[in-house]
Structure 1
Amino acid sequence: MSDLSGMGHLHEAGDGRREAHDEHKADDGHQVGDGREVGDTDGTGGPAARSADAPWKRLSPRMLFVHPVQELGKTAPALIVALVAGSGSGHRHIYALGAGVLTVVLALLRWYTTTYRVSPELVELRKGLLRRQISSVPLDRVRAVDLTAHVAHRVLGLTRLTVGTGHAAESEEDELKLDALTRDEAVLLREQLLGAAEAADAPAEPARSPESARAAVGSSDPIGPIGSVAPADPPLARMRPGWLRFSPFSYSGFVVLVVLVCVLMEAGLDVRHLGPVDSVVSGLGGGHGPGPVIEAVLAVLVLGTLLNVSQSVMKHWNFTLHRRRGGNLETTHGLLTTRAITLEERRVHGVEIGASLPVRLLGGAHCFAIATGVRGPQHNAMLVPPGPRDEVVRAAGAVLRAPDALTGPLVPHGAAALRRRYVRTLWPCALAVLVLGALWWDGDVPLLAWLASALLLPAGALLARDRYRSLGHTLSGRYLVIGHGEGAGARRRVALAREGIIGWNVRRSLFQRRAGVLTLTATTAAGRKGYAMQDIGAEEAVRLAEEAVAGLMAPFLVGGTGEAAEAAEVAGAGEAAATGESKESGEGSPRARPAEPVAER
């Protein structure tokens, strides 16, 4: 397992000896290989000694009903092998019984060998039988405590608690998970961990006591099955059933259909010989007319839509966005599997609002957080699912504490950007028309198909115009706002905190140099790691970069910030980058590293 920015890991061999898996630096206060925390030089009176006073606790015994089911899923291949081996010798029942008993024993051992404890300094998890593993997280490094309850957990009144440190975990094994506690225990422990972290960041505000947290848990709990402390403020966003009208416009349901077809074909079932599919193939060949083809297309659309709506209901049902008392953001959602996810607000460096063309036509959008410490650019970072655009923008403005950041007009990128949109969109359309015209001349396609292809030209022109209208940038308070279009009518608008910008990247292709424009990318440690302003003029790029983060690009310009033409010449050589020092906490302003003289290029 890898280091999780504050999570220490120890492994203990079967003879009781401990081996350090990750040895942390002394100035971080992390646990080291001998079991003592750095700073406890004498082994008494330090944080490690106070941690040793805390008792070890076991997970809820109700997990004895859940672990066997989980172990059956993990050992399914072995059980199948046992059944196949037993069928040949006539001892199938004996093999199946032995495999079932082994699964139950493994589940019992998993519960018996897993303990945890919470001290004033650390939260620790100890598990394993032959290979003991101890994971620890300092309380002042706790940045998120997420609650998850699957169907089996909800039936038994259990909740899985996951502790995050704000560092991007590479896998689920890099997270400290308590699977599982009772609902009340998970809620109280969550309040204790987050309260300790908030107290470390703001000593003037005392952490909430367990008694006050326990009093806050009641039947009015908005999370329902998980059970969480009700925030004092009204929700920033709450999903309503009417939002489901935006869910059919996703490709995930159709991907499931394709995967299902592939699975059936791998199982030896040739779907091409099924009745409906055979009718479609015959219709395409002109055997039965266009009727079966139309019916098949409608059937695929209906099935894909139903799958998309079902997935949205299962994942986003009762989606709620809150700002907790300590300032952290919290989302709760799910129908069968419910989740409560906490996102530390100081790690949120902006928001991203996007919408595909069908969702845009219905007046919808969705919102993601641009945050550090998430696995992937969008993992655990959704702030608002697809919903009405006005409500999504309002919620995003509330998250930014800047209601007007995403509603103001953008600075357009000029005539050169518009020409490039028309050229890049229309030349494939014109090529398609020419190819179909040549095929019609040879008699391979009917005249109607060639004439219909001419509609691609006005459609491409409308698409190019739409992409240009979505293109632009502006500075709104402490945020850099970037807009651009992508794909077939999709739009994105990003509000990125200026203090979160750690560098600039300038790129110019051959055609961009001829048009006098460039692509300016604001690099950051959060989200997609870089947000580009496409086809912006050289002078405007320099002005914007200096106004957004003063002094970051200046060392990379020839003759100072005022000579934009010189900056364009530097960028025209291929690529120019200005990189500052990244600070995850967002404190301080980035500083540019010294640049080599341009004359030496």
Structure 2
Amino acid sequence: MEEQTKRLHPIKIPLDLGKLLKGNIFFIIILYLFNFGSEKMYMKILQIAFLIYLAWRVLAIILKWYTYKYQIKEGTIHITSGLISKSYQSIPLHKVQNVHRRTTVFHRIFKLTSLTFETGTSGDEGSVPFEVISQKEAERLQRTHSSKHDSIMDAQVAEEKIAADLEPSMEKTIHFTPTKRDVLKASFTSLSFLALIPVLATLYNTLDDFIDLRNAEGYAEKAMESWWIITIAITALICIAVTFGIVSTFVKYGKYEISSDQERIHITKGVLDETTFSIQKEKVQAVEITQSIMKRMLGLAEVKLISAGSTGDEGLDTNVLYPFLSIERAYAMIEEILPAYKVERAMEPLSKQAFKIRMLRPSVFWLLTTAAICFFDIALWYLSLILLVLIFTLRILDFKSSRYLLNGEFVQFKSGSLETSLFITKRSKVIQIEVRRSKLQKVFGLASIETINRSKPVHHTTIHDVPAEYADDFYAWYIGRTQAIQTE
């Protein structure tokens, strides 16, 4: 039986109306609140014109919802929209690589959610968003996608039978859920308590509009002359900041789960605003482990999955595993959820020749800054010296952390100064490489190598000043990819 065409949930209309109101609140206040009853002709014209604009936008929102229809037929999503100028979109389900699901507080109130199918292509077929649909419909769409992916080699089998047959094999293995200790550690490592500063500043400015706080500052100065009042104030501020940091971290990371089944990796996070990201294991192009200075001190790391498709809203970090994993757990989890990947701890350091070239390589930024200081105020010459020391310090740190390794079909690069990044990928996932040698590198027998992986945007990873012999081995390693390349 052919599936009927469906629309998004009607709640999308008031949701879009709310966005329209939020986006135009400034003009509404200026035109209709501050200038209410104005007799100026130009103001009346602006008010009428803006009302016409709002009426047109409201009508457009209603028509957009009414004309937007979708249907899944023969393993393909068909979408039609538009009233006068109709548009058609067809995306085969087997092209869907990532599934991104987000449930905001607004969605929760009405038992709704949003679902986005991400493909590895660009343009109109890059993603298929279902902004407001029921929880039941989202689960149906996800099951349909999973069934199509798992049955692509046997398209004649009924979808219902496939779903039933796959139930036992689709059980999830939970790899990580944060403990209270993990949340506390994350709140301090992320410095989330510092977010209280702009909140207090905004609160101060808001109160200053209603209360004359400048007169109150005089009383505060007198109160601060007492040491015990100062102690209580500082203690209270620290407690508030820490509590704020813990609560904000819990809201973001408290309900966190990393799980996987035979085919996909699932990441769920968020207490109020819940986000679920699902990616096919075979579509993972590379893995990146990053550590800031503080995370290195605490033995923590962040693991990011680089995939062929888009990963939704970048601000949500949907493709990042829990960003405060212990380094040991991070390495172990990669091999747990991606058995095809192997991470080697022992890697080759850069040579002494690499250290020499980094100390000799001129810094254009330092030269331009020094020239500017000499031109405007020579008395600030010490800033040039401080900048030079900082540049060389960062170069030394990057030299010490830089590593490289060819391990069978895998390649690993590590680099960074204040923040280090360990990049791991398979030869079959690399779509292009580049080997470069500057004149200075030729003198020291060094080269720079780069890998390019499919992602949105395309992911480039470069390590500088490796031995020329290794660059030759790297090139030969890539040329041998035809023996093991996978067609995606």
For normalisation by structure 1, the TM-score amounts to: 0.60
Which of 1 and 2 has higher RCO (CA within 8 Å, sep 6+)? Answer: 2
- Change beyond 3 A, Cα 1:492–1:57: same
- Equivalent residue for 2:110? 156
* Aligned residue identity for 2:404: H
Determine if the alignment matches structure 1 residue 88 to structure 2 residue 88: no
1:482 to 402, 405, 413: 413
Could you tell me how far 1:300 is from its partner in structure 2?
A: 12
Q: Equivalent residues in 2 for 1:127-526 (5 A)?
A: 127-168=81-122, 175-200=127-152, 209=161, 212=164, 232-244=171-183, 245-249=185-189, 312-325=249-262, 327-374=263-310, 380-402=318-340, 405-420=342-357, 466-486=397-417, 488=418, 490-526=419-455
Residue identity opposite 1:194 in structure 2 = S
Q: Report the Cα offset of residue 189 of structure 1.
A: 1.6
Residue 38 of structure 2 aligns to a residue in which SS?
helix
Q: How does 1:31-42 map to 2 (within 5 A)?
A: none
Instruction: Quote the offset at 1:474 in angstroms.
Output: 1.5
In structure 2, the residue corresponding to 1:468 is in which secondary structure? Answer: helix
Distance 1:303 1:528 in 2: 43
Distance 1:409 1:197 in 2: 38
Change (3 A) 1:102 1:495: same
In 1, are the aligned partners of 2:413 and 2:424 still within 8 Å (CA)?
yes
Aligned residue identity for 1:587: T
Does the residue aligned with 2:322 lie in a helix, a strand or coil?
A: strand
Cα distance in structure 2, aligned partners of 1:128 and 1:248: 50
How many Å separate the matches in 2 of 1:507 and 1:299? 57
CA gap 1:137/1:461 in 2 versus in 1, 3 angstroms: closer
| Higher helix fraction (1 or 2) | 2
Note if contact 2:277-2:319 (Cα within 8 Å) is conserved in structure 1.
no
Q: What is the Cα deviation at residue 146 of structure 1?
A: 2.3
Provide the rounded CA distance (Å) in 2 between the counterparts of 1:392 and 1:354: 10
- Post-superposition offset of 1:156: 0.6
Query: Which secondary structure does the structure 1 equivalent of 2:145 belong to?
Result: helix
Change (3 A) 1:421 1:71: same
Runs of 5+ unmatched residues, structure 2: 219-233, 370-378
The question of whether the paired residues in 2 share the 8 Å contact of 1:411 and 1:472 is answered with yes
Amino acid corresponding to residue 498 of structure 1 in structure 2: R
- Give the C-alpha shift of residue 542 in structure 1: 0.7
CA distance in 2 between partners of 1:139 and 1:499 (Å)? 24
Please tell me whether the aligned partners of residues 285 and 425 of structure 2 are also in contact (alpha carbons under 8 angstroms): yes
TM-score calculated relative to the size of structure 2? 0.72
SS in 2 for 1:504: strand
- Tell me: CA distance 1:395–1:141, structure 2 relative to 1, closer, same or farther (3 Å): same
**Unmatched 5+ residue regions in structure 1?**
1-49, 217-228, 280-296, 433-441, 553-582, 589-601
Deviation at 1:546, TM superposition (A): 1.5
Whether the 8 Å CA contact 1:346–1:586 is kept in 2: the answer is: no
**Partner residue of 2:465?**
535
Q: In structure 2, what is the Cα distance between the partners aligned to 1:389 and 1:354?
A: 10
8 Å Cα contact 1:364-1:388 kept in structure 2: yes
Q: Displacement, 1:250?
A: 5.3
For the residues of structure 2 that align with 1:159 and 1:474, how far apart are their CA atoms? 44
Change beyond 3 A, Cα 1:400–1:475: farther
Q: Take 2:362 and 2:292, find their aligned partners in 1: how far apart are those partners?
A: 18
Residue 103 of structure 1 and its aligned partner are, at CA, apart by 7.5
Shift of 1:313: 4.1
AA at the equivalent of 2:445: G
Report the Cα offset of residue 355 of structure 1.
Answer: 0.6
CA contact (8 A) 2:147 2:163 kept: no
Q: Percent identity?
A: 19
